[in-house]
Structure 1
Amino acid sequence: MPAKSESQNTTEAGPCAGLRVVEIATMVSGPYTGQMLGDLGADVIKIEASGGDPMRTNHPMHEGMSAYFSLFNRNKKSICLDLKSDEGRQIAADLISTADIVLENFRPDTMERLGLGYDVLKESNPGLIYAGLSGFGTDGPYKNKPAYDHVIQALSGSMPIMGSPENPAPIPHIIADKVASIMTCNAILAALLHRERNGGVGQKVSTSLMKTYAAFLMPDLLNNFYFQSAPVQKIPNIRIHHPLKVKDGYVMGHVQLNPQFQGLCRILGREDLIEDERFNTPWARIFNYALFWKELEESASRMSKAELLALADEHGVPIASVNTVEEFMEDPQAIHTECFIDIEDPEYGRTRMAGFFADFETSPASVRMRAPKLGEHTEEILTELGKSGEEIAAARNARAIG
């Protein structure tokens, strides 16, 4: 079986077990943050409007459940609230009063307009970690602009490098959102550590798509701008990555060190290149990478993937098969390290999702629940808050809950 298979009744306690998160977030950046905290063991409650998170409408879909929504919203419960109604906002405030963390990804000041801003919430919950993930930050000239992944990629300066100045190109998936999620999760965990060390006092944490993506990208892109007080020779944008065609597909490597370069030359019968001044130092190879890989094409074209990769392992050369997603799911190392997890669900059958990215010796992350149906846990959550059946019915009749 090409993935670990689990039931949904995993009871292992992760490192965030016992913490409650209230997520008021849609699309990718906020929900993926909440999912990571859920994987780490936190009790995550997702507040949704009557129409639900827009991601619920994305295809492919089975029995009314979106695959895309499911991949960013496991390990959560869903409650439907109308935050435009007084009663809906009060239920949200009551719920947040029981939480360790509230996570939202609205535009700045939206939560304040709803009466659910940090200054209000901390009065009843001084230990609250309030995490706000916006597009451009809580102030500044862009604070009210709408922001999506490729808007951020365009602004970042990376697209002329990913493509070319004449044909700028984005990374073709939602990388800025996912980077923001990972960094926001890190910030929340740091704030929890600060709370533990400082008498239980919470705080507001603000992140943005723009700033997190800049922090992720800039260590690579700032090398020509690091020395601000001295003139230095700028390094041009050089494409050092080059897929190499073999008989049955492509392989790709990053040949950095001289022994790796020499090993690759021997594998492909091109020992004549080892002393070639165009290639025999790391910097020479960087500036002549396209020519270097061109020199290897004919020899590689006579070999299969399996032959080349076996010799690469023998000579310590870092090369891998250029896989499809289907091929990666069958990769023995991906299977061994549980990059994918299969879940048996009584309603949706077997589902496949990505595994968590860290292994904990004594407090493992886990998948305990599939993504929730819209409002699936509304009555359960309200009952836990002490609402009677009559109060729940009245709230439903008033359309404060869905």
Structure 2
Amino acid sequence: MTGAGQVAGPLAGIRIIDLSQIVSGPMATTILADQGADVIKVESPGGDPVRRMGPAKGDLSAMFIAVNRGKQGLSIDVKSGGGRAILERLIAGADVVVDNFRPGTMDRLGFGHDRCRALNPRLIYAAITGFGTDGPYANIRVYDPVVQAVSGIAATQIDGAGRASLVRTLVADKVTAVTMAQAITAALFHRERTGEGQRVDVAMLDAAMAFNWPEGMYNHSFRDDPPPPYPEYGALARLWPCADGQVAIGMMQDIEFIALARSLGRDDLAGDTRFHSVGGRMAHREEWAPAIAAEIAARTKDELMAGFIREGAVGGRVNGCAEAADDPQVVHNRIVVAIDHGSAGRVDNARPPARFSATPAAVAGPAPHLGEHGTAVLMALGYDADAIAAFLAAGAVFGIEG
């Protein structure tokens, strides 16, 4: 929805029916909503479980808002005759349908791929599953930690005892969302050129393994005459204590080690040619690392950042979650924006990260209360007031006043 004076986003005019819940599907469609798509979130009478996860005001949790902003809300009982009729009409006029249920669920509801394509041959039918549409694990219910475990992501997070651990964020859900959003736009581009709709499947396991592969699996990639194993990437990374917290640094390139040493006033280390290669730095680590650690430990984060900026070194302060929004670069980039949610007040979110020069993306608007836009959506589908009242009376539609 584009207000007066706003330039339409790149996906303006695309209508998406979002049947998904939790994070992976909703986040994918929110990315597309921010890019201008018209997204209708269809929920069961009980609502998306994420509405009740974490801090909330009424039926709007902070997590729900973040992955459902800018959508219209419709709540129907798709197992009822009226609910099925409404969903049929929604699908017939849509460009994309998204679900993230277990394999076979949509078929059992009467809205599998074949049925939806019969209703709308140009439809992009986008399905997210945990492990895929078939195979030995297809019937297992899946959440993010399970995919982290099976994909190898947890194995890259080794603790001091050598045990795997979880990334403490929904990394598998979110990389699946980004993967699906990109795949949907690719399918829409193909349809624009050919007129052909298609099915798009993204398994969380597939997305997570592809995401983890470049560095997480580099010791397991050469099949033929593999070279000697290299230290695991995660073992090469650490945070460095400083006078008032921690910082992250990097020195993959020789010039970066030199800049780091100079930022700490250690021109002697910067000029030592033994450290001017990755191999040299690894072989002589005990001759430079303790000195670098001591220099970092003696300085505050502000002092260190001033040196990193001056020399162009690789470095950044470790921000707590409550501090990140106030980081000078975050403020400069205007990443955090406030969304007015009426009686729930303003809610901070991160703006869309991609910047388009001709078709700007923007936060599409607030997240919907359960069924908030039911009347408007049904009227746009051609139902009159009497029909809407009948749906309400029959228990086919929820969340709107009769």
TM-score strictly above 0.5: yes
Following TM superposition, by how much is the alpha carbon of 1:71 offset from its aligned partner in structure 2, in angstroms?
Answer: 0.9
Compute the displacement of 1:303 (Å). Answer: 2.0
1:159·1:170 contact (CA, 8 Å) conserved in 2? yes
Aligned to 1:114: 109
Matches within 5 A, 1:2-401: 11-164=6-159, 166-198=162-194, 200-237=195-232, 239-274=235-270, 279-286=275-282, 292-401=288-397
Answer whether contact 1:8 1:367 (CA < 8 A) is retained. Answer: no
Question: Aligned partners of 1:70 and 1:10: how far apart in 2?
Answer: 25
Q: 1:269-325: per-residue Cα shift (whole Å, max 9, x none)? A: 444545768744213435776885433222222222222222222222111111123
In the superposition, relative to structure 1, how do residues 327 and 231 fare at CA in structure 2: closer, same or farther (>3 Å)?
A: closer
CA RMSD of aligned residues (A): 2.2
**Given that residues 339 and 365 in structure 2 are in contact (C-alpha distance below 8 angstroms), is that contact kept between their aligned partners in structure 1?**
no
Read off the aligned partner of 2:177 and give its amino acid letter.
Answer: S
Report Cα offsets for 1:112-148 as digits up to 9, x if no partner: 1111111111122111000000111111111111111
Higher alpha-carbon deviation: 314-323 or 271-280: 271-280
**Distance apart, 1:10 and its partner CA:** 7.8
Mean Cα deviation higher: 342-351 or 109-118: 342-351
Question: How far apart, CA to CA, are the structure 2 residues paired with 1:168 and 1:290?
Answer: 28
* CA distance in structure 2 between the aligned counterparts of 1:148 and 1:291, rounded to whole angstroms: 45
How big is each residue's C-alpha offset from its partner over 1:199-225, in whole Å with a ceiling of 9 and x where there is no partner? x11001111100011111112133223
Q: Which has the higher contact order (CA 8 A, sep 6+)?
A: 1
- Structure richer in helix, relative to its length: 2
Deviation at 1:229, TM superposition (A): 1.8
Report the residue type matching 2:367 in the other structure. A
In 2: Cα distance, 1:136 partner to 1:65 partner? 30
Does 317-326 or 223-232 show the bigger shift? 223-232
Matched residue count: 395
| Displacement after TM superposition at 1:354 (Å) | 0.7
Q: Percent identity?
A: 38
Quote the Cα distance in structure 1 between the aligned partners of 2:200 and 2:353: 23
Structure 1 gap segments, 5+ residues each = 1-6
Tell me how far 1:393 sits from its aligned partner: 1.4
TM-score by length of 2: 0.92
Conserved? CA contact 2:145–2:166, under 8 Å: yes
How many Å apart are 1:242 and its aligned residue? 2.4
Contact 1:244-1:293 at 8 Å conserved across structures? no
SS of the residue corresponding to residue 319 of structure 1 reads strand
CA pair 353-134 structure 1, distance change in 2 beyond 3 A: same
Cα distance change on mapping 1:288 and 1:25 into 2, 3 Å: farther
1:270 and 1:332, CA in 2 relative to 1: closer, same or farther beyond 3 A?
closer
After superposition, the C-alpha distances for 1:47-80 in whole angstroms (9 at most, x for unaligned) are 1000100001122112442111111100101111
Q: Is the 8 Å Cα contact of residues 62 and 348 (structure 1) preserved in structure 2?
A: yes
Point out the more displaced range, 9-18 or 275-284. Answer: 275-284
The amino acid of 1:301's aligned partner reads A
CA distance in 2, matches of 1:8, 1:335: 25
After superposing the two structures, state which structure 1 stretch, 9-18 or 139-148, moved more: 9-18
Secondary structure in 2 aligned to 1:80?
strand
- In the superposition, the TM-score normalised over structure 1's length comes to 0.92
Show structure 2 runs of 5+ residues with no match: none
